[in-house]
Amino acid sequence: MNPYLPHLATIDEIIPETASQDVKTFRVVFADAAVRASFSYEPGQFAELSLLGVGEAPISITSSPTQRGYLEFAVKRAGVVTTALHWSRPGDHLGIRGPYGNHFPYREMEGKNIVFIGGGIGLAPLRSLINYVLDPSNRSRYAAVSIIYGARSPGDLVFKWELDAWQRRQDTELHVTVDRGDEGWTGRVGFVPQVLMDVAPSPANTVTVTCGPPIMIKYVLENLEKLGFAPDQIVTTLEMRMKCGIGKCGRCNIGSRYVCQDGPVFTYEQLRQMPAEY
């Protein structure tokens, strides 16, 4: 087999997320009906998105496996491929390889409380699991769900259209915060790690799943320890420059692990035993 050959897909919808439009969500549909039917993934996995003639970039799948018929990717404009993606329009073609990597331990999390802690675009990988857990077919298997999400400014919040839906749910607790507010902002102002201390979730029978900028992660980890969370109760997902996605190209090594295969999801317990090279 040629593991580098992507499936072709079409962009169905492009949703601008941030005020500056540096993040957009792409809803894509596989061109081939057979692929549409057979492509399955689990929350936390990623795919290599490509534009033919431009190149590939690893992007986490932000839709949930419970959403059928399409995939969603939230893409921040940064490099060559993501910039070109931002220029594309509904109906344009792209290539998708995957899914790759491990996934969030959603089976092991059954029966437990879950605290999601996200910052900026870091909500994208978490969202796959959030919507999986909140799906009517799964919700009863999990205990309390709370989400702490923050961004630099109100304009930097992503998935605002969905935050409202989560807010309305009785079975979910949502805390949205921004580092700096603006005239229109009536919500909470403060850094995510501080909001975490305000919310002060109990570590009893609880798992936290966190993703965000390195500086946020650093203080979130510190504060979770203060709240009494053990390292194996903390799950995170890493961003690396993965090229092949299948453990061959040698780029995403952290120690003997390949983030593209052994990750991107790691517990803090695992991370502590790995070299700090990410």
Partner 1 sequence: MRRGEAAVAGVILEHSELNRILAHVAGQARLWVATGEGEEAAFLPYRPGIPLRRGPGPTRRTAKEIFFPRTEALFTFHEADGKPRLEPAKVDDGPLVVFGLRPCDARALCLLDPVFEDPLWPDRLYGGRRARAILVGMACSQPSRACFCTSVGGDPAGEEGLDVILVALDDAYLARATTDRGAEWLEGLGFSPAPPEAEAAAARVAETARRALAAVPADGLKERLDGRFEHPVWDRLHERCLGCAACTYLCPTCHCFDIVDEGGPGEGVRLRNWDSCMFALFTLHASGHNPRMTGKERMRQRIMHKFNYYPERQGRPACVGCGRCVEICPVNLDLRQVIAELEGVEA
Partner 2 sequence: MSVNALLRETAARLLAEGTVRLVVGWEKGTLPLRTTPLLARTAEQADRLVADATCDQNLAVYLTRFKDEKVALVARPCEARTLVEYCREHRASPDRVLAIGVPCTGMLSRRALERRLSGRLPAAGRLEGDLVICSGEDWEERLPLTDLLEPVCYGCRLPGADRYWRVLGESRPPAGDRYAELDRFRQMAGEERYAAFCRAVERCIRCYACRQACPMCYCPECFSDRSAPTWVGSSDDLSDTMVFHLTRTLHLAGRCVDCGACVRACPVGVDLRHLHLRLGREAEERFAYRPGLDAADRPLVATFRPDDPEEFIR
The residues of the shown chain that bind partner 1, judged by CB under 8 A, are 1-6, 8, 31, 50-57, 78-80, 82, 93, 95, 214, 239-241, 243-244, 246-251, 253-256, 261, 275, 277-278
Least spacing, CB of residue 243 vs partner 2, in Å: 13
Least spacing, CB of residue 83 vs partner 1, in Å: 9
Q: State whether residue 154 is helix, strand or coil.
A: helix
Give the residue with the Cβ less far from partner 1, 21 or 205. Answer: 21
Least spacing, CB of residue 222 vs partner 1, in Å: 20
Tokens of 169: 């749910």
Least spacing, CB of residue 247 vs partner 1, in Å: 7
Non-local (6+) Cβ contacts of 105 within 8 A are 207, 235, 265
**Residue from the set 19, 37, 52, 80 that interacts with partner 2 by CB under 8 A:** 80
Give how many residues touch partner 2 by CB under 8 A: 3
Count of residues in the chain: 278
Give the residue with the Cβ less far from partner 2, 57 or 123. Answer: 57
Q: State whether residue 137 is helix, strand or coil.
A: coil
Rounded distance between C-alpha atoms, residue 46 and residue 113, angstroms: 25
Give the residue with the Cβ less far from partner 2, 55 or 247. Answer: 55
- If contact means CB under 5 to 8 A according to the sort of partner, which of partner 1, partner 2, none does residue 70 touch? none
Tell how far CA 68 is from the center of its chain. 18
Give the residue with the Cβ less far from partner 1, 6 or 105. Answer: 6
Find out whether 208 and 224 touch, Cβ atoms under 8 Å: yes
Secondary structure element (H or E) that encloses residue 130, with its range: helix 123-134
Q: Which residues of 9-24 are buried (b: 16+ CB within 10 A; e: fewer)?
A: bebeebeebbeeebbb
Rounded distance between C-alpha atoms, residue 196 and residue 212, angstroms: 14
Least spacing, CB of residue 6 vs partner 1, in Å: 7
- If contact means CB under 5 to 8 A according to the sort of partner, which of partner 1, partner 2, none does residue 203 touch? none
**Residue from the set 20, 21, 83, 273 that interacts with partner 2 by CB under 8 A:** 83
Least spacing, CB of residue 121 vs partner 1, in Å: 10
DSSP assignment of 35-46 equals: HHHH----TT-E
Give the residue with the Cβ less far from partner 2, 45 or 82. Answer: 82
Find out whether 6 and 97 touch, Cβ atoms under 8 Å: yes
Contact footprint for partner 2 (CB under 8 A): 79-80, 83
